[in-house]
Structure 1
Amino acid sequence: MTWEAGVRWRGGGSLVRGFAAALAVVCAVLALPPAAAAAEEDEVAGIIVVGVPGLAWTDIDEAVTPNLWGMAGSGASASMSVRTIGSWTCPEAGWLSLGAGERAGGAAPRDAQCAAQSQLQAPVEDGGGWSVDGWDALVEANESFNYGARLGSLADAVAAMAAAERTAAIEAEAAGEPVVEPDPGACVAGIGDGAALAAADTEGRISFWAPELASLGEAMAACDVVVVDPGVIVGDTADAAPDTSTDYDQLGEDDIGVGTDEPSADVDAGEIEPEPDAVRKRAAAVADAAVGEVEAALPDDWRLLVAGVSDASAPSALHPVLYSGAGVEPGELTSATTGRDGYVQLVDLTATALGAVGAEVPATVAGAPIQVLPDADHTSASAVARGIDETAASQAVISVSFVFYSVLSAIGVIAVAAAVWLLCGSDRYRGLARTVCLAVAAMPVAGVAAGIPHWWRAEHPQLAFWGIIAAGMAVLTVAASLPWTRHGARPVLVIAGAAALLIAVDQVSGATWPLHTPMGYTAQAGARFTGLGNYAFSVFAAAVILLVAFLPWKGRARVWGPVLIGVCAVVIVGAPNLGRDMGGTLTLVAAGILCCLKLWGRKLSLGALALAGGIAFAVFAIGGFLDYLRPQEDQTHLGRFVGSVLDGTAANILIRKADAAIGTIGRPLTWVSLAALIGAIVIWRKRAPIRSNEVAAAAVGLSAVAVLGAVVNDSGIAVTGFTTALGFGLLAVAVGPRTERAEPATPDPVAAAPTSKN
C-alpha cells in the first residue's frame, strides 16, 4: 500500500491528533494580549469637551485659529472618525453619539447638507432642571438602527459613580470607618443646544444647562464633566454660518466681522472677488474664540478636549481631536478601538471623559479611553500637517474605490469567460485567455501593493493610483509567464505566493498598506483601522488555499505542510496583534480543513463537514472567550462580540451585519460572482468531473471561502467577488487545457500479412 493510501485509510487518528495540535496552537496565539497600550492616565478634577461640528484639519491655521493651533502643539492630537449611522454624520447624530458612547442617529432626516440635523432646539426648563424636547422620538429612532445605542450613557455612568460613592460612604459610616465624602460634582453639564443632547441622561434630563459660555464657571462648579457647543458649524455654505443674513461668499476676507451684515464702506461690493473659504474661516474663528475662552477659565487640574464631533455635510471626512491640560504631554493619541497611533473614534471621547473623572466605562459604551503617546518632536505644524495628510489619503481612496471595484468586476467577468475558453475551447486564443486570467488575478494583489507608495500625495492622485495598479498587474503577469514559471501550477504559485506574502508582511509590520487603498477600509469609515479587512482577507484566503493545493508536497510533508501553512494563516487572520478578523477566522479554518481533506483524498461526507464546522467553531469560541476575559479596554471586537452574546445584545449585531451583507447584492462585485457561478456550471458540463485531488482541493477550498465568507462577513457578496477575481482564473491556469491522449493505431491484418514471393 502506498504512503498516500495509508494516509487515506489508516491515518484517521493521526489526522485528528494533527488537527487537535493545530487547534491548540491557534487558540494559544489567539489568547495572546494585543499590543501593549500606553499607561493608564491619572484621574483629574474635571474635563471639558468642546465639540465643533465640521471642524477639519485644514481649518486649523496659525493666523485664523491661534488657540487651536497652539493647542495642537502644546497637547496631544489625533484624527478622528465620526462615522455613526450612514456614510456621513450630521450634528444631531454626532452629539447623541457623544452622549451614548455608541453609534447613534438623529430623529431628523439626514440630508446631504445636514440642514435638518443642524437645527437643534434648546432644552426646556421644567422647574427642577432641564430636559431635551422630543427625547422619546430620539430613543425610538435609535432602536431601529440595531447598534444598541443607549442614549444618555455618559450622564448615567457619571451618576452611577456618584451613587456608588454615596453607598460606600454609608457603609463606611455604619462600620465606623473613615468616611470619604462623595464628589458633589459627579454629573454632566451642558452649554449650548448641541451639548444638551450629549449631557442628557437616559431619561433626557440634564443636571445643568446654560445657553452661553458666560455660564462656564457655574457649570464647572456644578459638574466634573462639562460639554460645550460653541453654537457654530464649520461648513462651506452660508446656511452653516452663524450669521445667515450675510452672504460671506461675496465678501472679501478682510471684510468679515462678527455681527456685520454689510461690507466696509470703502469697498465696492460689486467688484469684490468671491472668497469660497470665507464662511469656513469665519466659523472656525468663532469656534477658536470659544476655545480660547474655555482655556482661559480652565483650572490647572482640569483637562480640555476639543473635537470636530460631526460632518457639516456630505461627504464625510476625518476630523481633529486636540487634548490638553493636567498631565497631558505633547504627542499623538490612540485608543484600543483603533489600535493605530494617531487615530481615534467619536465614541472614544465618551470613554475618555468617564476615565478622566474616575467613572467606570459601562458595557453600553463601545469606545475606549484615548491614550497619549508622548513625542518630544511634536509641534503644531507637524500635527496639522499629519492630520491633513491622513484626511487627504482617506478621501483619495474614496475617490478611486467605486471605479476600482467596477473595473475589477468587469474584467473579472472577462477573466471568467477566458477561463472557460482555456478549459473548454479550441486551441485558438488559449495563450491570450491564459494571460487574461493571470492579469486579472494580479489586480487585487496590485491593489494591496498600491498602499506602499504615497500615491495620494501626487499632483494627480487618481492617475498615480491607476498607474500603480497597471504596473503591478504587468509585473506579476510577466513574472508568471517566464520560461521557468509558465508551466504547470507555477504561475499560480507565483501570483498566489505574492498575494499571501504581501498581506502577511503587511499584517506583521502594522497593517498599513490596505488602509490607503480600496482593498481596505478608509480610516474615516471607522470599520477597521488595523488588522485584516474583509476584502484583503478574501484575497489572502484564496491565495492560501491555492498554495496548499498546488505546492509540490512530497511524503509526509503532504500532511504537515498544509497544516503548518493553515495554522500560520489562521494566526495572521485572527490574532489580536495581527488580523483581528472574527468572520475571517471562522471562514478560513473551515475552508482550510475541507481543502486539506480533499487534498488527502478523503470524501466530503457529512462527518467531514461536521468536523470542519466543529473545529472552526471551537477556534472561534475559544479565541473569543479568551479575548473576552481581558480587561474591556484591551478586548478586540471578537471578545466584545462574546460579551454581547452573554448580555443578550448579539442579535442586534447579527441583524445589522446581515442587513449589510444583503445590501451588497447588486453592487459591482455581484456580477463577477454571478459570472463565476455560470462559468463553473459550463466547465462542469463540458469538462467532466474533477479527477485530481489537487484541483478538487482548490475548488472546494475556494468555494468554501466564497460562500461561507459571504455569509459570516458583513461585506457579503464582495467576499465572493474578490475570491473569484483571484482564484477562478488561477485555478483554470493550474488545470490547463485538456489534451486527449491518442489511442495506438490498430494494425491492419491484411497489410501486416507477409506477402509471398514468386
Structure 2
Amino acid sequence: MRARAPHTLDGMTQARERARIRWARWAAAALAALTAALALPGTAHAAEPEADGVVIVGVPGLAWSDLDPDATPNLWDLAGTGASAAMSVRTLGSWTCPEAGWLSLGAGERAGGVAPRDAQCEAQSALPSPGDTGDGWAVEDWDAFIDVNSAYNYGARLGSLADALAEAALAQETAAAEAEADGEPAPEPDPGSCVAGIGDGAALAAADTEGRITYWAPGLDSLPDAMAACDVVIVDPGVVIGDTADNAPDTSTDYDQLGEDDTEVGTDATSAEDDPGEIEPETDPVRAGAAEAADTAIGQVREALPDSWRLIVAGVADAAAPGSLHPVLYSGPGIEPGGLTSRTTGRDGYIQLTDLTATALAVVGADIPATVAGAPITVLADPDHTAAAAVARGSDETAASAANADVSPNFYWTLSFVGVAVMLLAAHLVVGPDRFRRTARTVCIAFSAVPVAGVAAGIPPWWRADHPKLAFWGLILAGAAVLTIAASLPWTRTGIRPVLVVAGAAAALIAVDQVSGATWPLHTPMGYTAQAGARFTGLGNYAFSVFAAAVILLVCFIPWRGRMRLWGPVALGVCSVVIVGAPMLGRDMGGTLTLVAAGILCCLKLWGKRLSLGAVLAAGAIAFGVFAVAGVLDYLRPEEDQTHLGRFVGSVLDGTAAQILIRKASAAWGTVGQSMTWITLAAVIAAIIIWRKRAPIRTDAVAAAVVGLTAVAAIGGLVNDSGMSVPGFTAALGFGLLAVAVGPRRDTPATLETEPVATAPAATQ
C-alpha cells in the first residue's frame, strides 16, 4: 500500500489538473457567451426622409392639458396629424427655466442659465434681446453664459447647433472647390446652412459659440425672410404658459386641483341634492390666455411654412417648479401620424430636449458633432393615431412621472429610517437573547420584501387613482405582506427557505421586467422618473442593487449538490450579468462591472478559496475586461444602436470621458448625507456588533454572502453616480435576509426550527 501511494497521489494531482483545465475552458466559454450576448445588435430604425428645412417653435411651460380642440385648435390639429411624444427638459436641476432650456437647445447638451433659477422662473423668463453689432446680431454678455457653464461637468458647448451648420456650409464650399480644381461639375452649395432665430429666447439657441447670430428678428412677420436665409429656424413666440402667482406650483406645496368635497353629504351644511360631488379644476385665465396666444403664433407659423419644410412644436422648459414632462409635436413631409422615440431614451413615446438639436441637424443633412448628446427623433407610425389619444397618452405619462416624483422622497426616507431599526433587529436576531427573536425574524423578512414590492408597484397604474399616494403605499404594504406570508408558510418558513423565497422573487421579478421591456420601475421610486431624464429603459441603480443582492443570496444559499455546486453559481451569475449589461436589456455599465467582480469573489469564497490580494486583483481585472470588451463591441455597432456603454467608449476616444467621470463622482459624493446614507451606516454598525460577538463566520455560504453583498455595496457605490443609494438598497434587501440565513447561535436556545445541514449547508453557523 505504501509503495502505491505515490501513484495514487500522482493520479489525484492529475485529476485535479484536468478539473482545472475543464474549469478554465468552461469559464472561457461562459465569458465568450457573455460578451457575445452583450454585443447583440439592437433594432435599427430607418432614416427619415430629408426636408428643405425645419422650424422649431419653443413654448416654455406648454403642457398636454393646454391642448384643446376649441381653445388651441392649431396645437390640437398638430397632435392629430403629426407625431408626438412626452419630452423631458431636465438640464441641471429638478426643473428647467426658459433661459436654460433655450441654451440647451442650442448646445445639444444640458446647460444652465446665468440668471438665478427661482421657483417661479421669473428671472430666467425675462430674456433680453440680442444686441446689434453693426455687422449682425449677438447675444449680450455671451461670455457670462460660457463661464457659468464651464463650471458644470456636462461639457455643454454653447452654440453647437449653429457651429455644426456652419461647418456643413464650409464642407460644401470645400467640396465645390475641390471638384472645380479637378475639372468636375461642382455641387451647388446650400446657402441656407445656418440657424435663424425669431424672438429673444430663440437668440440663445441660434447663437454660435461666439454668441453671434446669422439671422435674428424680433417678430413672426420676419419668418419668411428667416426661412429664406437659413434651413433651421428657431422661434420664440414670447409666451411662457404658466399659472398666476396664486395658482403656480412650487417645491413645497401640493397644488392638486382635483379632490372630493370635504362636507359630508346629508348634513346641515348641505343636502344630497346640493352636493357638487367631485370638484372640477378651474381654468386659470392667465394660463388659458397664454396657451391661446401660443396657439395663434403657431397658426401663423403654419401659414408661412412651405410644404417641403417640417415643423416641431415643443415645450422647451418649465414655467415654474416642480419640473414636468412636456409635449413635442412633429409634422411635415415624411412624418406620419404616430409616436416618437429616440436612441437616448430607448422607449417609445419619450424623447429628450437635446434630441431636438440632433433632429434639426439630421433633417437638413448636417453631421451631428460629438458635443451634441441627443439623437435624431424616430417616428413610430400608428394608423390609429388621433389627437385625443395622443393627448390622453401624454397626460397619463406626465401624471405618472409627477406622481412618482411626489411619492419618492417619502419612500426613500421611510425605507431608510425604518431600515435603521431593522438593521439593529437583524443584529439582535443573530447575537441577541432569545426574547423577541421570532418577531425580529419576521420583521427582517417583511422589510426585505419592501424593495421588491416597490418594483412590483409599477405594474398597476396607481397614479390614476383618486388618491395616488394612498394607492402607492397600499401597493407597497400589500406587496410586502404577500411576500412575507409566502415566506412564512409551513413549507417555506424554516431554515434558509424564507431567504430563497424573497431573493428569488426579487431576482425573478426584475429579470422578467427587463426581458419584457423594463416598464415597471419607471413608474416607481425604484426607477427614475421620466422627467428626470436619467434612464428611460434598462436597469436603474436602485433596482440593480436589489437584483444584485438577490442574486448573491441565491448563489450562496441555494443547496447546490454535486457538480452543480460549481456550475450552478456560474450559470446563475452569467445569466444575471447578461440581464444587467446586455444592450437590449439592462444597459447598466456600472452594474456590469460591479456584479462581475462581486460574483467572482463570492464564488471563490463559496468554493472555499482564500481571498488573497491576487484573487481580488484578478476579479477586478476580469470584471474590467468584460466591461471593456462589452463596451468596445457596443461601440462598434451603428451609432443609432449604441447604448451609453458604447458611447462611453466613444467619449474615451474623443477625450471627454474625464468630464463624465467627474460628473458621476460629484453626483455620487452628493448622495452622502441623503436618505439612504442612514440605513447604510446602520448596517455597518449592526455588522460590527455581530462580528464582535460572533466571529469568525465558519460556513462557506455565509462567508460568501458577506463577501458578495459587501462587494456589491462598495464597488457599486463607487462606480455608480447614485453613490450611497447602492449600499442602501443592497442592505435593505440583503442584510435582513442574511441575518435570517445565519440564524441564532447553536449554543443559544432557539424557538425556531432549523433544517439539517445536509439540505441547507449554510443555514446556520
**Aligned equivalent of 1:524:** 531
1:388 corresponds, among 387, 395, 405, to 395
**Aligned equivalent of 1:22:** 30
CA distance in 1: counterparts of 2:474 and 2:689, whole angstroms: 35
1:33 matched to 2:41: yes
1:615 matched to 2:622: yes
**Aligned equivalent of 1:459:** 466
Check the 8 A contact 2:44/2:640 in 1, yes or no.
no
Check the 8 A contact 1:38/1:372 in 2, yes or no.
no
1:128 Cα deviation from its structure 2 partner: 1.6
Check the 8 A contact 2:401/2:530 in 1, yes or no.
yes
1:466 is aligned with what amino acid? W
Identity in percent: 72
2:41 is aligned with what amino acid? P
CA distance in 1: counterparts of 2:245 and 2:159, whole angstroms: 32
1:567 matched to 2:588: no
1:408 is aligned with what amino acid? L
Check the 8 A contact 1:442/1:476 in 2, yes or no.
yes
CA distance in 1: counterparts of 2:399 and 2:128, whole angstroms: 34
Check the 8 A contact 1:8/1:600 in 2, yes or no.
no
**Aligned equivalent of 1:130:** 137
**Aligned equivalent of 2:643:** 636
CA distance in 2: counterparts of 1:412 and 1:8, whole angstroms: 46
**Aligned equivalent of 1:186:** 193
1:10 Cα deviation from its structure 2 partner: 7.6
**Aligned equivalent of 2:326:** 319
2:210 corresponds, among 203, 212, 218, to 203
Check the 8 A contact 1:101/1:364 in 2, yes or no.
yes
Task: Name the SS for the 1:579 alignment partner.
Answer: coil
1:29 is aligned with what amino acid? A
**Aligned equivalent of 2:544:** 537
Coordinate RMSD, CA, aligned: 2.0
CA distance in 1: counterparts of 2:615 and 2:493, whole angstroms: 35
1:52 matched to 2:59: yes
Task: Name the SS for the 2:327 alignment partner.
Answer: strand
**Aligned equivalent of 2:516:** 509
1:21 Cα deviation from its structure 2 partner: 2.1
CA distance in 1: counterparts of 2:676 and 2:80, whole angstroms: 44
CA distance in 2: counterparts of 1:525 and 1:20, whole angstroms: 40
2:436 corresponds, among 429, 434, 457, to 429
Task: Name the SS for the 2:335 alignment partner.
Answer: coil
2:94 corresponds, among 87, 95, 100, to 87
In structure 2, do the counterparts of structure 1 residues 201 and 543 end up closer, same or farther at CA, with 3 Å as the change threshold?
A: same
1:238 Cα deviation from its structure 2 partner: 5.7
Task: Name the SS for the 2:240 alignment partner.
Answer: coil
1:700 Cα deviation from its structure 2 partner: 0.4
CA deviation string 1:699-747 (max 9, x = no partner): 10000001110000000000000000000000011111112299xxxxx
Check the 8 A contact 2:108/2:372 in 1, yes or no.
yes
2:485 corresponds, among 478, 481, 501, to 478
CA distance in 1: counterparts of 2:638 and 2:543, whole angstroms: 29
TM-score calculated relative to the size of structure 1: 0.92
CA distance in 2: counterparts of 1:725 and 1:9, whole angstroms: 42
Q: Where do 1:40-189 residues align within 5 Å?
A: 40-189=47-196
CA distance in 1: counterparts of 2:452 and 2:91, whole angstroms: 31
1:17 Cα deviation from its structure 2 partner: 3.2
1:137 Cα deviation from its structure 2 partner: 0.6
**Aligned equivalent of 1:688:** 695
**Aligned equivalent of 2:415:** 408
1:561 is aligned with what amino acid? G
1:93 Cα deviation from its structure 2 partner: 0.4
CA deviation string 1:378-411 (max 9, x = no partner): 0000000001000000010111111111111122
1:4 Cα deviation from its structure 2 partner: 13
2:204 is aligned with what amino acid? L
**Aligned equivalent of 1:715:** 722
1:106 Cα deviation from its structure 2 partner: 0.6
**Aligned equivalent of 2:348:** 341
In structure 2, do the counterparts of structure 1 residues 428 and 152 end up closer, same or farther at CA, with 3 Å as the change threshold?
A: same
1:12 Cα deviation from its structure 2 partner: 4.2
In structure 2, do the counterparts of structure 1 residues 569 and 4 end up closer, same or farther at CA, with 3 Å as the change threshold?
A: farther
Task: Name the SS for the 2:605 alignment partner.
Answer: helix
Check the 8 A contact 1:192/1:211 in 2, yes or no.
yes
CA deviation string 1:45-86 (max 9, x = no partner): 000000001101111111111100000000000000000011
1:739 matched to 2:735: no
CA deviation string 1:508-556 (max 9, x = no partner): 0000000000000000000000000000000000000000001111111
CA distance in 2: counterparts of 1:328 and 1:275, whole angstroms: 36
1:483 is aligned with what amino acid? P
1:160 Cα deviation from its structure 2 partner: 1.0
**Aligned equivalent of 1:246:** none
1:108 Cα deviation from its structure 2 partner: 1.2
CA deviation string 1:632-667 (max 9, x = no partner): 222111111111111111111111111111111111
1:600 corresponds, among 600, 607, 625, to 607
1:302 corresponds, among 309, 319, 344, to 309
Task: Name the SS for the 1:390 alignment partner.
Answer: helix
1:169 Cα deviation from its structure 2 partner: 0.9
Check the 8 A contact 1:698/1:731 in 2, yes or no.
yes
1:179 Cα deviation from its structure 2 partner: 1.5
Check the 8 A contact 2:199/2:236 in 1, yes or no.
yes
Check the 8 A contact 1:8/1:601 in 2, yes or no.
no
Check the 8 A contact 1:62/1:69 in 2, yes or no.
yes
1:228 matched to 2:235: yes
1:676 matched to 2:683: yes
1:239 Cα deviation from its structure 2 partner: 11
In structure 2, do the counterparts of structure 1 residues 4 and 79 end up closer, same or farther at CA, with 3 Å as the change threshold?
A: farther
1:66 is aligned with what amino acid? P
Give aligned pairs, total: 710
Check the 8 A contact 1:331/1:376 in 2, yes or no.
yes
1:19 is aligned with what amino acid? A
2:156 is aligned with what amino acid? A
In structure 2, do the counterparts of structure 1 residues 174 and 7 end up closer, same or farther at CA, with 3 Å as the change threshold?
A: same
In structure 2, do the counterparts of structure 1 residues 236 and 7 end up closer, same or farther at CA, with 3 Å as the change threshold?
A: farther
1:657 corresponds, among 660, 664, 687, to 664
CA deviation string 1:497-518 (max 9, x = no partner): 0000000000000000000000
Task: Name the SS for the 1:671 alignment partner.
Answer: helix
1:629 Cα deviation from its structure 2 partner: 1.7
**Aligned equivalent of 2:272:** none
In structure 2, do the counterparts of structure 1 residues 298 and 163 end up closer, same or farther at CA, with 3 Å as the change threshold?
A: same
1:223 Cα deviation from its structure 2 partner: 0.5
Check the 8 A contact 2:244/2:284 in 1, yes or no.
no
TM-score calculated relative to the size of structure 2: 0.91
In structure 2, do the counterparts of structure 1 residues 302 and 431 end up closer, same or farther at CA, with 3 Å as the change threshold?
A: same
CA distance in 1: counterparts of 2:246 and 2:203, whole angstroms: 22
In structure 2, do the counterparts of structure 1 residues 5 and 556 end up closer, same or farther at CA, with 3 Å as the change threshold?
A: farther
CA distance in 2: counterparts of 1:503 and 1:5, whole angstroms: 43
Check the 8 A contact 1:542/1:726 in 2, yes or no.
yes
1:206 is aligned with what amino acid? I
